[in-house]
Structure 1
Amino acid sequence: MPRPKRHRRILGKPPIKCFKPDTTSDELIEVTLDEFEAIRLRDYHGIKQKKSAEIMGISQPTFHRIITSARSKIAKALVEGKTIILKGGDYITDKKRYKCLDCQFEWISPKKEYKKCPDCGSENITIIGEDIMPGRIGMQRGRGMRAGPPRACKCIECGYEIPKTPGVPCRSEKCPKCGGIMCAAD
Protein backbone atom coordinates (compact mmCIF):
# COMPACT_ATOMS: atom_id res chain seq x y z
CA MET A 1 0.00 0.00 0.00
CA PRO A 2 1.51 3.36 -1.00
CA ARG A 3 2.22 6.04 1.54
CA PRO A 4 -0.50 8.73 1.77
CA LYS A 5 0.25 11.90 -0.18
CA ARG A 6 1.47 14.77 1.97
CA HIS A 7 -0.28 18.09 1.47
CA ARG A 8 1.90 20.97 0.35
CA ARG A 9 1.76 24.36 2.03
CA ILE A 10 1.02 27.32 -0.20
CA LEU A 11 0.77 31.00 0.63
CA GLY A 12 -2.61 31.38 -1.03
CA LYS A 13 -4.42 31.15 -4.31
CA PRO A 14 -2.90 33.20 -7.14
CA PRO A 15 -4.76 36.36 -8.15
CA ILE A 16 -4.86 35.28 -11.80
CA LYS A 17 -6.06 31.79 -12.68
CA CYS A 18 -5.66 31.75 -16.47
CA PHE A 19 -3.04 32.74 -19.05
CA LYS A 20 -4.12 32.61 -22.68
CA PRO A 21 -1.87 33.27 -25.67
CA ASP A 22 -3.02 35.30 -28.63
CA THR A 23 -3.82 32.17 -30.70
CA THR A 24 -6.88 30.12 -31.51
CA SER A 25 -5.72 27.01 -29.61
CA ASP A 26 -8.43 25.60 -27.34
CA GLU A 27 -6.18 23.11 -25.54
CA LEU A 28 -5.67 23.74 -21.82
CA ILE A 29 -2.70 22.88 -19.64
CA GLU A 30 -3.49 22.61 -15.93
CA VAL A 31 -0.81 23.73 -13.48
CA THR A 32 -1.72 22.77 -9.90
CA LEU A 33 -1.48 25.33 -7.12
CA ASP A 34 1.39 23.46 -5.44
CA GLU A 35 3.30 23.60 -8.76
CA PHE A 36 2.54 27.33 -8.95
CA GLU A 37 3.85 27.80 -5.39
CA ALA A 38 7.07 25.91 -6.24
CA ILE A 39 7.62 28.15 -9.30
CA ARG A 40 6.86 31.25 -7.20
CA LEU A 41 9.35 30.32 -4.49
CA ARG A 42 12.22 28.95 -6.60
CA ASP A 43 12.04 30.84 -9.90
CA TYR A 44 10.28 34.11 -9.05
CA HIS A 45 11.84 34.74 -5.62
CA GLY A 46 15.06 32.77 -6.27
CA ILE A 47 14.93 30.85 -2.98
CA LYS A 48 17.15 27.76 -2.91
CA GLN A 49 15.42 24.41 -3.42
CA LYS A 50 16.08 23.14 0.10
CA LYS A 51 14.63 26.27 1.72
CA SER A 52 11.66 26.29 -0.68
CA ALA A 53 10.87 22.66 0.18
CA GLU A 54 11.03 23.56 3.87
CA ILE A 55 8.62 26.48 3.39
CA MET A 56 6.17 24.19 1.55
CA GLY A 57 6.50 21.49 4.23
CA ILE A 58 7.73 18.76 1.86
CA SER A 59 10.97 16.89 1.18
CA GLN A 60 13.54 18.23 -1.25
CA PRO A 61 13.06 15.33 -3.74
CA THR A 62 9.28 15.94 -3.72
CA PHE A 63 9.87 19.65 -4.32
CA HIS A 64 12.15 18.77 -7.24
CA ARG A 65 9.47 16.54 -8.81
CA ILE A 66 6.83 19.28 -8.39
CA ILE A 67 8.94 22.05 -9.91
CA THR A 68 10.13 19.82 -12.78
CA SER A 69 6.51 19.01 -13.61
CA ALA A 70 5.50 22.70 -13.44
CA ARG A 71 8.38 23.84 -15.65
CA SER A 72 7.58 21.14 -18.21
CA LYS A 73 3.91 22.17 -18.38
CA ILE A 74 4.73 25.88 -18.67
CA ALA A 75 7.35 25.22 -21.37
CA LYS A 76 4.84 23.14 -23.36
CA ALA A 77 2.23 25.92 -23.09
CA LEU A 78 4.71 28.58 -24.24
CA VAL A 79 6.15 26.59 -27.14
CA GLU A 80 2.82 25.21 -28.41
CA GLY A 81 0.73 28.32 -27.64
CA LYS A 82 -1.68 26.69 -25.18
CA THR A 83 -3.73 28.20 -22.35
CA ILE A 84 -2.43 27.73 -18.78
CA ILE A 85 -5.06 27.20 -16.07
CA LEU A 86 -4.05 27.34 -12.38
CA LYS A 87 -6.21 25.11 -10.17
CA GLY A 88 -6.45 22.08 -7.92
CA GLY A 89 -3.79 19.96 -6.32
CA ASP A 90 -3.17 18.69 -2.80
CA TYR A 91 -2.42 21.70 -0.65
CA ILE A 92 -3.18 23.50 2.60
CA THR A 93 -2.90 27.15 3.53
CA ASP A 94 -1.88 28.63 6.86
CA LYS A 95 -2.65 31.93 8.45
CA LYS A 96 0.71 31.99 10.25
CA ARG A 97 2.80 33.91 7.79
CA TYR A 98 5.98 35.88 7.89
CA LYS A 99 6.56 39.02 5.87
CA CYS A 100 9.84 40.76 5.11
CA LEU A 101 9.39 44.49 5.52
CA ASP A 102 12.34 45.21 3.20
CA CYS A 103 11.58 43.09 0.09
CA GLN A 104 7.83 42.42 0.83
CA PHE A 105 8.33 38.62 0.46
CA GLU A 106 5.75 36.50 2.33
CA TRP A 107 6.16 32.88 3.41
CA ILE A 108 4.59 30.25 5.65
CA SER A 109 6.29 28.21 8.35
CA PRO A 110 4.18 26.58 11.06
CA LYS A 111 7.06 24.75 12.78
CA LYS A 112 10.25 26.75 12.36
CA GLU A 113 10.83 30.23 13.76
CA TYR A 114 12.60 32.55 11.32
CA LYS A 115 14.97 35.36 12.25
CA LYS A 116 15.90 36.29 8.65
CA CYS A 117 14.05 36.53 5.36
CA PRO A 118 14.82 33.49 3.15
CA ASP A 119 14.64 35.72 0.07
CA CYS A 120 16.90 38.69 0.89
CA GLY A 121 18.41 37.76 4.28
CA SER A 122 17.01 40.83 6.05
CA GLU A 123 16.24 40.63 9.77
CA ASN A 124 13.41 43.16 9.33
CA ILE A 125 10.57 40.57 9.34
CA THR A 126 7.18 40.40 11.02
CA ILE A 127 4.58 37.70 11.71
CA ILE A 128 1.29 38.38 9.91
CA GLY A 129 -0.93 35.72 11.54
CA GLU A 130 -0.66 32.88 14.03
CA ASP A 131 -3.63 30.55 13.36
CA ILE A 132 -3.54 27.53 11.08
CA MET A 133 -6.65 27.17 8.94
CA PRO A 134 -8.44 23.89 9.77
CA GLY A 135 -8.98 21.22 7.15
CA ARG A 136 -7.67 20.87 3.64
CA ILE A 137 -8.26 23.07 0.68
CA GLY A 138 -7.96 21.74 -2.83
CA MET A 139 -9.31 18.90 -4.90
CA GLN A 140 -9.05 16.13 -2.29
CA ARG A 141 -12.19 13.99 -2.74
CA GLY A 142 -14.23 17.00 -3.82
CA ARG A 143 -13.49 19.15 -0.77
CA GLY A 144 -12.88 22.85 -1.02
CA MET A 145 -13.67 23.31 -4.70
CA ARG A 146 -17.06 24.26 -6.07
CA ALA A 147 -18.47 21.68 -8.46
CA GLY A 148 -19.74 22.58 -11.90
CA PRO A 149 -18.92 25.31 -14.38
CA PRO A 150 -17.74 28.77 -13.29
CA ARG A 151 -20.35 31.41 -12.51
CA ALA A 152 -18.53 34.23 -14.26
CA CYS A 153 -15.91 35.02 -16.88
CA LYS A 154 -13.15 37.50 -15.98
CA CYS A 155 -10.98 39.55 -18.34
CA ILE A 156 -7.28 38.76 -17.83
CA GLU A 157 -6.32 42.29 -18.89
CA CYS A 158 -8.71 44.66 -17.08
CA GLY A 159 -10.42 42.35 -14.54
CA TYR A 160 -13.96 43.05 -15.80
CA GLU A 161 -16.40 40.20 -15.02
CA ILE A 162 -19.48 39.08 -16.92
CA PRO A 163 -21.93 36.28 -16.08
CA LYS A 164 -21.02 32.98 -17.75
CA THR A 165 -23.12 32.00 -20.74
CA PRO A 166 -24.08 28.30 -20.35
CA GLY A 167 -22.43 26.10 -22.98
CA VAL A 168 -19.97 28.79 -24.12
CA PRO A 169 -16.37 28.54 -22.84
CA CYS A 170 -15.07 31.75 -21.22
CA ARG A 171 -11.95 31.62 -23.40
CA SER A 172 -14.09 32.14 -26.52
CA GLU A 173 -15.67 35.33 -25.09
CA LYS A 174 -14.17 38.80 -25.56
CA CYS A 175 -14.26 41.47 -22.86
CA PRO A 176 -16.99 44.02 -23.66
CA LYS A 177 -14.95 46.73 -21.93
CA CYS A 178 -11.47 46.35 -23.46
CA GLY A 179 -11.77 43.49 -25.97
CA GLY A 180 -9.37 41.30 -23.96
CA ILE A 181 -9.43 37.55 -23.43
CA MET A 182 -11.78 36.12 -20.79
CA CYS A 183 -11.03 33.25 -18.40
CA ALA A 184 -13.17 31.38 -15.86
CA ALA A 185 -13.59 33.11 -12.49
CA ASP A 186 -14.94 31.35 -9.40
Structure 2
Amino acid sequence: MARHKSKRSISFRPPCSHFIPQEHALHEEAISLLAEEVEALYLMDLLELYQEEAAQKMEVSRPTFARIIKSARNKVALALLGGHALHLESSKERYVVALCSESETSPYTVLNPKGKYIHFFTLENHQTIEKQMIPNPLLLNQTKPSSVLSELFVNQRVNVFVTGTIGQGFKSTLSTKGIPVLLREAITDEEITALW
Protein backbone atom coordinates (compact mmCIF):
# COMPACT_ATOMS: atom_id res chain seq x y z
CA MET A 1 0.00 0.00 0.00
CA ALA A 2 1.33 3.48 -0.91
CA ARG A 3 2.31 5.83 1.90
CA HIS A 4 0.44 9.08 2.43
CA LYS A 5 2.36 11.96 0.83
CA SER A 6 3.12 14.64 3.41
CA LYS A 7 2.59 18.30 2.57
CA ARG A 8 5.75 20.05 1.43
CA SER A 9 6.60 23.62 2.41
CA ILE A 10 6.83 25.58 -0.85
CA SER A 11 7.95 29.21 -0.83
CA PHE A 12 9.39 29.89 -4.29
CA ARG A 13 7.11 30.96 -7.12
CA PRO A 14 8.81 31.07 -10.52
CA PRO A 15 8.25 34.34 -12.40
CA CYS A 16 7.49 32.39 -15.59
CA SER A 17 6.22 28.88 -16.05
CA HIS A 18 6.87 27.81 -19.65
CA PHE A 19 10.13 27.31 -21.53
CA ILE A 20 10.06 26.27 -25.17
CA PRO A 21 13.19 25.61 -27.26
CA GLN A 22 13.87 28.42 -29.72
CA GLU A 23 13.84 26.03 -32.67
CA HIS A 24 10.46 24.71 -31.42
CA ALA A 25 10.03 21.67 -29.29
CA LEU A 26 11.06 18.42 -30.92
CA HIS A 27 8.38 16.58 -28.96
CA GLU A 28 4.69 17.33 -28.61
CA GLU A 29 4.54 16.62 -24.88
CA ALA A 30 6.03 19.08 -22.41
CA ILE A 31 7.92 17.95 -19.34
CA SER A 32 6.33 19.22 -16.17
CA LEU A 33 8.22 20.04 -12.96
CA LEU A 34 6.06 19.72 -9.85
CA ALA A 35 6.01 22.68 -7.44
CA GLU A 36 8.05 20.62 -4.94
CA GLU A 37 10.68 19.92 -7.64
CA VAL A 38 10.89 23.63 -8.50
CA GLU A 39 11.32 24.38 -4.78
CA ALA A 40 14.09 21.77 -4.48
CA LEU A 41 15.98 23.29 -7.44
CA TYR A 42 15.55 26.75 -5.92
CA LEU A 43 16.88 25.71 -2.51
CA MET A 44 19.73 23.52 -3.67
CA ASP A 45 20.90 25.00 -6.96
CA LEU A 46 19.98 28.68 -6.61
CA LEU A 47 20.47 29.23 -2.87
CA GLU A 48 23.20 26.55 -2.75
CA LEU A 49 21.93 24.97 0.47
CA TYR A 50 23.06 21.52 1.55
CA GLN A 51 20.48 18.74 1.21
CA GLU A 52 19.91 18.52 4.97
CA GLU A 53 19.16 22.24 5.27
CA ALA A 54 17.02 22.27 2.11
CA ALA A 55 15.04 19.27 3.40
CA GLN A 56 14.37 21.11 6.67
CA LYS A 57 13.09 24.16 4.79
CA MET A 58 10.75 21.95 2.77
CA GLU A 59 9.74 20.06 5.94
CA VAL A 60 10.62 16.67 4.45
CA SER A 61 13.18 14.02 5.33
CA ARG A 62 16.60 14.14 3.70
CA PRO A 63 15.98 10.91 1.68
CA THR A 64 12.69 12.37 0.42
CA PHE A 65 14.45 15.58 -0.57
CA ALA A 66 17.14 13.56 -2.38
CA ARG A 67 14.44 11.81 -4.43
CA ILE A 68 12.74 15.14 -5.24
CA ILE A 69 15.96 16.88 -6.37
CA LYS A 70 17.05 13.85 -8.43
CA SER A 71 13.70 13.79 -10.23
CA ALA A 72 13.84 17.56 -10.85
CA ARG A 73 17.36 17.46 -12.26
CA ASN A 74 16.51 14.48 -14.49
CA LYS A 75 13.49 16.32 -15.91
CA VAL A 76 15.47 19.52 -16.56
CA ALA A 77 18.27 17.55 -18.26
CA LEU A 78 15.76 15.68 -20.42
CA ALA A 79 14.05 18.94 -21.45
CA LEU A 80 17.31 20.74 -22.26
CA LEU A 81 19.09 17.88 -23.97
CA GLY A 82 16.07 16.25 -25.59
CA GLY A 83 14.34 19.32 -27.01
CA HIS A 84 11.23 19.18 -24.85
CA ALA A 85 9.21 22.16 -23.70
CA LEU A 86 9.40 22.62 -19.92
CA HIS A 87 6.48 23.59 -17.69
CA LEU A 88 7.04 24.72 -14.09
CA GLU A 89 4.12 24.24 -11.74
CA SER A 90 3.83 26.63 -8.83
CA SER A 91 2.08 26.47 -5.50
CA LYS A 92 -0.41 29.30 -5.32
CA GLU A 93 -1.37 28.71 -1.72
CA ARG A 94 1.00 31.07 0.06
CA TYR A 95 3.48 33.81 -0.77
CA VAL A 96 5.33 36.61 0.98
CA VAL A 97 5.61 40.21 -0.23
CA ALA A 98 8.25 42.55 1.21
CA LEU A 99 8.61 46.30 0.93
CA CYS A 100 10.65 49.04 2.60
CA SER A 101 8.76 52.24 3.34
CA GLU A 102 8.92 55.48 5.27
CA SER A 103 5.34 54.82 6.37
CA GLU A 104 4.27 52.54 9.22
CA THR A 105 0.77 52.04 7.81
CA SER A 106 -1.05 51.84 4.48
CA PRO A 107 -0.72 53.43 2.01
CA TYR A 108 2.96 52.59 1.99
CA THR A 109 4.84 55.45 0.35
CA VAL A 110 8.38 56.38 -0.64
CA LEU A 111 9.19 52.74 -1.34
CA ASN A 112 12.95 52.16 -1.49
CA PRO A 113 15.44 49.74 0.09
CA LYS A 114 16.57 52.39 2.61
CA GLY A 115 13.07 53.09 3.97
CA LYS A 116 12.70 53.23 7.78
CA TYR A 117 10.55 50.11 8.01
CA ILE A 118 10.45 46.73 6.33
CA HIS A 119 6.98 45.28 5.95
CA PHE A 120 6.34 41.59 5.30
CA PHE A 121 2.92 40.39 4.15
CA THR A 122 2.09 36.68 4.15
CA LEU A 123 -0.77 36.04 1.75
CA GLU A 124 -2.97 33.04 1.08
CA ASN A 125 -5.67 33.02 -1.58
CA HIS A 126 -5.41 36.83 -1.99
CA GLN A 127 -5.92 37.38 1.74
CA THR A 128 -3.34 38.77 4.15
CA ILE A 129 -2.95 36.21 6.92
CA GLU A 130 0.03 37.82 8.64
CA LYS A 131 1.73 41.23 8.71
CA GLN A 132 5.10 41.92 10.22
CA MET A 133 7.01 45.21 10.45
CA ILE A 134 10.61 45.61 11.57
CA PRO A 135 13.04 48.54 11.60
CA ASN A 136 15.25 48.47 8.53
CA PRO A 137 18.67 47.11 9.61
CA LEU A 138 20.33 49.26 6.94
CA LEU A 139 19.70 52.32 9.10
CA LEU A 140 21.71 50.83 11.97
CA ASN A 141 24.85 49.66 10.23
CA GLN A 142 24.96 51.75 7.01
CA THR A 143 25.68 48.78 4.73
CA LYS A 144 24.59 48.07 1.19
CA PRO A 145 21.10 46.60 0.67
CA SER A 146 22.46 43.64 -1.29
CA SER A 147 24.51 42.38 1.65
CA VAL A 148 21.85 42.67 4.37
CA LEU A 149 18.39 42.69 2.81
CA SER A 150 18.93 39.83 0.36
CA GLU A 151 19.75 37.41 3.20
CA LEU A 152 16.89 38.75 5.32
CA PHE A 153 14.47 38.25 2.41
CA VAL A 154 15.66 34.69 1.84
CA ASN A 155 15.26 33.90 5.56
CA GLN A 156 11.74 35.39 5.51
CA ARG A 157 10.98 33.35 2.33
CA VAL A 158 10.02 36.47 0.36
CA ASN A 159 8.51 35.82 -3.08
CA VAL A 160 8.46 39.40 -4.40
CA PHE A 161 10.03 42.72 -3.34
CA VAL A 162 8.07 45.89 -4.08
CA THR A 163 10.10 49.09 -4.41
CA GLY A 164 10.11 52.43 -6.25
CA THR A 165 13.86 52.48 -6.78
CA ILE A 166 16.57 49.86 -6.73
CA GLY A 167 20.23 49.71 -7.68
CA GLN A 168 21.33 47.25 -10.35
CA GLY A 169 23.62 45.37 -7.92
CA PHE A 170 20.83 44.78 -5.40
CA LYS A 171 18.38 43.83 -8.16
CA SER A 172 20.90 41.31 -9.54
CA THR A 173 21.49 39.85 -6.08
CA LEU A 174 17.75 39.40 -5.55
CA SER A 175 17.44 37.86 -9.00
CA THR A 176 20.11 35.25 -8.19
CA LYS A 177 18.12 34.42 -5.04
CA GLY A 178 14.95 33.96 -7.11
CA ILE A 179 13.19 37.07 -5.76
CA PRO A 180 11.60 39.21 -8.50
CA VAL A 181 11.31 43.00 -8.08
CA LEU A 182 8.08 44.89 -8.73
CA LEU A 183 8.58 48.64 -9.31
CA ARG A 184 5.97 50.79 -7.56
CA GLU A 185 6.29 54.25 -5.96
CA ALA A 186 3.52 53.49 -3.43
CA ILE A 187 1.13 50.64 -2.65
CA THR A 188 -1.94 49.96 -0.50
CA ASP A 189 -2.99 46.84 1.41
CA GLU A 190 -5.62 46.13 -1.27
CA GLU A 191 -3.05 46.36 -4.06
CA ILE A 192 -0.72 43.98 -2.19
CA THR A 193 -3.38 41.28 -1.94
CA ALA A 194 -4.13 41.66 -5.68
CA LEU A 195 -0.50 41.22 -6.82
CA TRP A 196 -0.75 37.53 -7.77
TM-score, length basis structure 1: 0.50
Q: 1:7 deviation in Å?
A: 1.1
Residue in structure 2 matched with residue 21 of structure 1 by the alignment: 21
What secondary structure is seen at the aligned counterpart in 2 of 1:70? helix
Deviations 1:71-127 (A, max 9, x none): 0000000101111001268x96474799x6244552468xxxxxxxxxxxxxxxxxx
Residue in structure 2 matched with residue 64 of structure 1 by the alignment: 66
Aligned-partner Cα distance in 2 for 1:18–1:4: 30
Q: Which residue type is aligned with residue 6 of structure 2?
A: R
Q: Which residue type is aligned with residue 86 of structure 1?
A: L
Aligned-partner Cα distance in 2 for 1:101–1:74: 30
Which has a greater percent of helix?
Answer: 2
Determine which of 84, 87, 101 is the counterpart of 2:149: 101
Shift in CA distance, 15/35, structure 1 to aligned 2, threshold 3 Å: same
What secondary structure is seen at the aligned counterpart in 1 of 2:9? strand
Residue in structure 1 matched with residue 47 of structure 2 by the alignment: 45
Unaligned runs of 5+ in 1: 110-185
Percent identity for Structure 1 against Structure 2? 34
Matched residue count? 108
Aligned-partner Cα distance in 2 for 1:24–1:104: 40
What are the residue-to-residue correspondences of 1:89-168 with 2, within 5 Å?
A: 93=94, 95=122, 101-103=149-151, 105-107=153-155
Aligned-partner Cα distance in 1 for 2:87–2:15: 12
Residue in structure 2 matched with residue 4 of structure 1 by the alignment: 4
TM-score, length basis structure 2: 0.48
Q: Please provide the CA RMSD for this pair.
A: 3.0
Aligned-partner Cα distance in 2 for 1:97–1:43: 30
